[in-house]
Structure 1
Amino acid sequence: MAKRFPWKSNYRQIPSFVQIALSEIDGDLIAVSASKKINRREVEAGQYAHVGLSADGSAIIANGPTQPHADAGKWSARNAYGWDRKREDWPMVQKTWTFESPNFGDGARNGWTMRSWSKDVYQHQIFEPQGMTIEASVLEDKGGEQVVVKFALTPILSRGMAEFDLMLLWALNVLQENTGVTGVFASDATREEYISTITLDWQIFPPGTADEVVLRLLGTAHPTNIPDFEKHVRERVLLFENFEPKAYIRGQGGFGSYFGAQFADDLVVFENLKYGNAVYLLYQNWDEASQRSRLDLLRDQDAHFDRVVHTDGWQDRLTSLLHDKLFERGLRRRRSGYRSKRRGRSREESDDRGDRQANDGERGR
């Protein structure tokens, strides 16, 4: 792929000049920002239009903040689409895949059977899209050939955050890829202001009719920047209804694009419609997990969750996976025709087990 900008793209590790600047900052909060002298002709030619700089006659105008383009570099692409980081340094875990296959090679004639298989795999560390933005501001413009511009990236970082060095490198490279400069400064923001940019606070709604649930989830803060938001929410609610959720959830404030459903204390399904690239099944105690920051919630071992990427057939994969997780918790009967390669149970044995669970008073459908 052709390089988009003429400057250095990114750094493999935190550069020494940033390390020196960090050592001179006493506070916990770090702002990733830098200033740059820019030739006026470059602005007029549109070289910095992607970060909100434009020429209006003799004046240089800064509009923003702007979302970095995914094609600016690999770190900008990760910022836009997320990052699946394979961790060979972590212990391997067992993962299970569920799929339908035709009986005797002809599903139309002989029906279909649900099968699953398990194997030990390396864990992956999933980073959802970070949503970093860049804001330009003109610091000096005396009408000459050059202007001085400051580029600041949000959100700011905390030294105490999980994997600070990695997140700092990510932020530095997003700024570098899009502007050609990078650096760090002490932040004047309060810790409370910082926390508010990363903490995902949830609203909990009781189940009801599909129309009632959709109305509650949409609320008064409709995210108008998300195409077909109401349509997608309604589709998810209708899908979730088939599995009898105990509650629906939605992020508050600036996180209104997050929503999902809770099916058990340790089973919550949610996604972020702002990016809409995957659905997550979280297998942690919800009271504890809901207190974790937005950036930290999924920056964890994927033994704690499954990620269903929105590729062809993702609804079927989500339905099958959710059905199995509910069955494991005694909240659902195994579907007819299920066969497990791992356990070696036959269809009849699986059905008998489901009947026994139903007779024990557990919920079945």
Structure 2
Amino acid sequence: MAKRFPWKSNYLKIPPFVQSALNDIDGDLITVAATKKIRRRDIGAGQYSHLGLSMASSSVVAAGPTQPAADAGKWSLRNAYGWDRKRQDWPMVQKTWTFESPNFGDGARNGWTMRSWTKDVYQHQIFEPQGMTIEASVLEDRGGEQVVVKFALAPMLSRDMAEFDLMLLWAINVLQENTGVTGVYASHATREEYVSAVTLDWQIFPPGTVDEVVARLLGSSNPTNAADFEKHVRERVQLFEGFEPIAYIRGQGGFGSYFGAQFADDLVVFENLRYGNAVYLLYQDWDEASQRSRLDLLRDQDAHFDRVLHTNGWQDRLIALLHDKLFERGLHRRRKGYRSKSRGQ
């Protein structure tokens, strides 16, 4: 990735000045933020436009929270698109791949059969897009050559969150990559405000007609960066309907909106409508998994879930996985009317 900004990109580990500031904070909640003196002419030249800073006449204007630029560095890229972290330090697990093959070499005449193969693989730790945002605010502007701006990152962090050190490194690097400064402060937010920011409010809907299910899932939510939102949801519901889900699910929170279908106590398929870069099949008890925070929902060994990226042929891969996982559970639901696009039918 080509370097976009003139300042230091990121840190390999938490720098001493951040660790020192962290040690001086008594509370549990941490805000990643820093102040910076910025030349007025740099703002006018657009160097900070990705952070919502601009000039209006002679005044500096801050436009509010912005999504960090994905091309600012590797941590910003992970923030925007997620992170697949191969864990060679974890035990290997068995993974199964499922595919359809023609019977006796002629699927048109003899039909098709689901087949699978299994091998030992390294586990992957999946981090969904984190949805961190940066808000700029002008602290001091006396009309001179420089202004003082504070950059604050959301959401805040909690010391008791899973892998706090890694999440702190991620957050300070997102701020560093996009602003050239970073730091930590004690958050003034309450614990309740933190919990509300990371908790998903899950709603369960019974099956119904496609129109009924789509209407329930849409509600009043329409993520600003989800193109063809209703069409997207309708296509997923039409795909799920063929496998006879027992319920539909919708989860909303401050940094994402999720929807999907439940096929068994330990088989739920869902995706994040805000980012929409993958579908997840979760193989854990849903009542337990749904109690997790947005940050922890998928931060687990991938023996417990599969991720189907939205690349060419992803629908076929999802359908094949669903066939296999339903078969494992004794739920022999073959998708009604399904014809694989990969076979050109």
Interval of TM-score (by shorter of Structure 1 and Structure 2): over 0.9
Q: Distance in 1 between matches of 2:185 and 2:224?
A: 34
> How far off is 1:273 after superposition?
1.6
Contact 2:243 2:334 survives alignment (8 Å): no
User: In structure 1, what is the equivalent of residue 42 of structure 2?
Assistant: 42
Per-residue CA deviations over 1:83-130 (Å, capped at 9, x if unaligned) read 000001111100001123345666556654432110000000000000
TM-score, structure 1 as length reference: 0.88
Specify the SS of the correspondent of 1:245.
coil
Q: Distance in 2 between matches of 1:293 and 1:67?
A: 21
User: In structure 1, what is the equivalent of residue 180 of structure 2?
Assistant: 180
Contact 1:244 1:263 survives alignment (8 Å): yes
1:235 maps to amino acid:
E
Contact 1:37 1:148 survives alignment (8 Å): yes
> How far off is 1:330 after superposition?
0.9
Q: How does 1:1-365 map to 2 (within 5 A)?
A: 1-102=1-102, 107=107, 112-252=112-252, 254=254, 257-332=257-332
> How far off is 1:12 after superposition?
0.2
TM-score, structure 2 as length reference: 0.93
**1:66/1:214 Cα in 2 relative to 1: closer, same or farther (>3 Å)?**
same
Q: Distance in 1 between matches of 2:174 and 2:60?
A: 23
2:145 maps to amino acid:
E
Q: Distance in 1 between matches of 2:34 and 2:79?
A: 19
Specify the SS of the correspondent of 1:170.
helix
> How far off is 1:76 after superposition?
0.3
Q: Distance in 1 between matches of 2:127 and 2:24?
A: 30
> How far off is 1:197 after superposition?
1.0
Per-residue CA deviations over 1:11-68 (Å, capped at 9, x if unaligned) read 0000000000001000000000000001111101000000111111110111120001
Uncovered stretches (5+) of structure 2, i.e. residues with no partner: 336-345
> How far off is 1:271 after superposition?
0.2
1:123 maps to amino acid:
Q
> How far off is 1:167 after superposition?
0.2
Specify the SS of the correspondent of 2:161.
coil
Q: Distance in 1 between matches of 2:104 and 2:38?
A: 68
Contact 2:269 2:282 survives alignment (8 Å): yes
Contact 2:30 2:187 survives alignment (8 Å): yes
Q: Distance in 2 between matches of 1:13 and 1:263?
A: 42
Contact 1:69 1:76 survives alignment (8 Å): yes
Contact 1:327 1:334 survives alignment (8 Å): no
Task: Report which stretch shifted further, 24-33 or 52-61.
Answer: 52-61
Uncovered stretches (5+) of structure 1, i.e. residues with no partner: 336-365
Count residues in correspondence: 335
Contact 1:125 1:300 survives alignment (8 Å): yes
1:326 maps to amino acid:
L
Per-residue CA deviations over 1:116-151 (Å, capped at 9, x if unaligned) read 110000000000000000000000011111100000
Contact 1:250 1:256 survives alignment (8 Å): no
> How far off is 1:274 after superposition?
1.1
1:87 maps to amino acid:
R
Contact 2:135 2:152 survives alignment (8 Å): yes
Specify the SS of the correspondent of 1:221.
coil
Supply the RMSD in Å over aligned alpha carbons: 1.6
1:156 maps to amino acid:
M
**1:208/1:333 Cα in 2 relative to 1: closer, same or farther (>3 Å)?**
closer
Task: Report which stretch shifted further, 181-190 or 99-108.
Answer: 99-108
User: In structure 2, what is the equivalent of residue 345 of structure 1?
Assistant: none
Contact 2:197 2:253 survives alignment (8 Å): no
Specify the SS of the correspondent of 2:175.
helix
User: In structure 2, what is the equivalent of residue 353 of structure 1?
Assistant: none
Q: Distance in 2 between matches of 1:143 and 1:198?
A: 40
